[in-house]
Amino acid sequence: MHKSVYDIIKMKKDGKKISAITSYDYTLASLCDKSGIDILLVGDSAGMVMLGYENTIPVTMDQMCMFTEAVSRARKNSLLVADLPFMSYQASIEDAIKNSGRLIQAGADAVKLEGGISMSETISAIVDVGIPVMGHIGLQPQTTMLSEGYKVQGRTKDTAIKLIEDAKELEEAGVFSIALEMISHEVAQIISETISVPTIGIGSGVGCNGQVLVVQDLLGMFEKIKPRFAKRYLNLSEDIVKALENYKNDVESGTFPAQENWFSMDDNEFKKLREQIGS
């Protein structure tokens, strides 16, 4: 049986830290799930790391459903949360409920959406139909065009107070957890101590109840952006390019394929074939 949102809430109560990682495809999701990580997040960051967009704005519901289905086929143990992409929930509460339902039908256990107080009614409505919601405050990549871009949030008293109020309002609206993206560590710690549901931080310091990273950042596979907050546990892009160069050289030199990589006819059948075609 895989983890539920109640298991995640209980981890905070028990003082256990929560690990989360993004997942978008069957192969990597199988490995993430096997590692025992608590939450697999099908983030709309898929648009950047899987599809090569400049930001998350072009990501569609159809794409999010496809990624979610792939991850759900791999998932055995972790909780599976999927992002509602840009414009799938902002225009109306009906859109938000319908599109949350699509992600649940694609295999998610819960959905995540960006926004503070302005999203509380939408969140309540989604929770009311029985779909768990993870909130997301701080840096909100779907609306960076309204702000100063990819900047740390909550560095002044007033912005800090706004974030703390947002977090309390989301808790009130019924979220089971809140992602805190690029919030100053002091404010992230205050929020984590103030609300009862777990906070999952990305670039928000060690005071959060859990941490999330983009899997390609952790594995060192995404070269375009290297966020300071992401720890690289491997340099996989170097190893992958090295392996591909070795393959290319082997093909060119005839070293690949070798006998163990090909298949043979039965000796007698081959003899008969040669007699018939006269070679």
Catalytic residues: 181
The number of residues that bind ligand KIV (CB under 6 A) is: 10
- What is the spatial distance between Cα 135 and Cα 173, in angstroms, rounded to a whole number? 10
- Rule CB under 6 A: is residue 85 a binding residue for ligand KIV? no
Number of neighbouring beta carbons within 10 Å of residue 102: 18
Closer to ligand KIV by CB, 22 or 120: give it.
22
Binning the chain into helix, strand and coil, the percentages to the nearest 5 are: 45, 15, 40
- The answer to whether the peptide bond before residue 257 is cis (omega within 30 degrees of 0) is yes
Options 37, 202, 218, 219; binder of ligand KIV; rule CB under 6 A: 202
Beta strand ranges found along the chain (DSSP E): 18-22, 39-42, 79-83, 110-112, 133-138, 177-181, 199-202, 210-213
The β-bridge relationship of strands 18-22 and 210-213 is: parallel
The contact pattern for ligand KIV, residues 160-199, with x = CB under 6 A and - = no contact, is: -------------------x-x------------------
Q: Which stretch binds ligand KIV (CB under 6 A): 37-45, 152-160, 219-227, 244-252?
A: 37-45
Angle at 102 between CA 100 and CA 105, to 5 degrees: 115
Residues 209-238 that bind ligand KIV (CB under 6 A): 212, 214
Q: How far apart are the first and last CA of the chain?
A: 61
Q: Which stretch binds ligand KIV (CB under 6 A): 42-50, 88-96, 184-192, 221-229?
A: 42-50
Closer to ligand KIV by CB, 50 or 97: give it.
50
The contact pattern for ligand KIV, residues 49-78, with x = CB under 6 A and - = no contact, is: ------------------------------
Closer to ligand KIV by CB, 197 or 202: give it.
202
Residues 95-134 that bind ligand KIV (CB under 6 A): none
Task: Fill in the DSSP letter of residue 153.
Answer: B
Q: Which residues bind ligand KIV (CB under 6 A)?
A: 22, 43-45, 83, 179, 181, 202, 212, 214
